[in-house]
Amino acid sequence: MSIIDKFRLDGKVAFITGGSKGLGKAMALAMADAGANLVIVSRHRDEGQMALEEISERTGAKGMAIEADVRIGEQVEGAVSMALERFGKIDILVTSAGVNIRHPIEEFPEEEFRDVLDTNLFGTWICCKVVGRHMMERRYGRVITIGSILSVVSIPGRTAYAASKGGVLQLTRTLALEWAPYGITVNCICPGPFVTEMNEAIFRDPKVRDFFLSNIPLGRFGEMEEIGSLALFLASDACPYMTGAAIFVDGGWTAR
């Protein structure tokens, strides 16, 4: 098999939470373009179905959209069961569902803090737990968690988000150790600033935009396809020896 062929995902099944928009959708598109079947999980099935139809039209990929909230374990169990009933396996897990709420700590409502932790950290944990059982039985899997530059550095007002993403990175490292004997790799993509639906509103503020750009050595925000290509590499058989890694896609922010 040529090295290029190892990047193909023909016949593989990718289970992607938060796959209806933003970085999740970009990663779903990249994997579909490489031949993967998709399971797009979103809290809003109509959004997931729209994303799936758009991706299928562009790539010819087969798939399904499932409505589930990653904060609720029973819904994750149900989504995984539906995916296995349809495709019989899950080869790739991408935990892209996430939220970011910003307040100084003294003004941070407790329920909003818990929502960020429940979505970003618990949601990643429960998806890994449920899908991981299946991967352990098959002794194969590619797990891609989504951290952030705030997994290792921080910005004022991000106590919830930074705490959750720091936790995701440590979860990734621990699972890489637990699952190495089963042939499952677990790696964490840590994006810097991308103009996604989650960030678009704050980037409209010229002062905020200038702050972020001044901290990016490459002097620009990330493009969606730049996350998709990395996710494809981590999901493919071109990357069997990397596990427990944090890969920063941040224009050089964390290199400063």
Structure tokens at 247: 């890969």
Per the annotation, the verdict on 140 as an active-site residue is no
User: Around 119, how many Cα atoms within 13 Å sit in the side-chain half-sphere?
Assistant: 21
In whole angstroms, give the CA distance from residue 8 to residue 2. 10
- In 103-165 the beta strands, taken as DSSP E runs, fall at 141-146
Contact 124, 186 (CB under 8 A): no
3-state secondary structure of 139: coil
Residues in contact with 114: Cβ distance below 8 Å, sequence separation at least 6, in sequence order: none
| pTM recorded for the entire structure | 0.96
Q: Which position among 140, 161, 182, 241 bears the catalytic label?
A: 161
Q: Mind listing the domains of the chain with CATH numbers? A: 5-197+223-249 (3.40.50.720)
How much is the pLDDT for 196?
75
Say if residue 198's pLDDT is above 70. Answer: no
pLDDT, tens only, 129-184: 999 999 999 999 999 999 999 999 999 999 999 999 999 999 999 999 999 999 99
Average pLDDT for the chain: 95
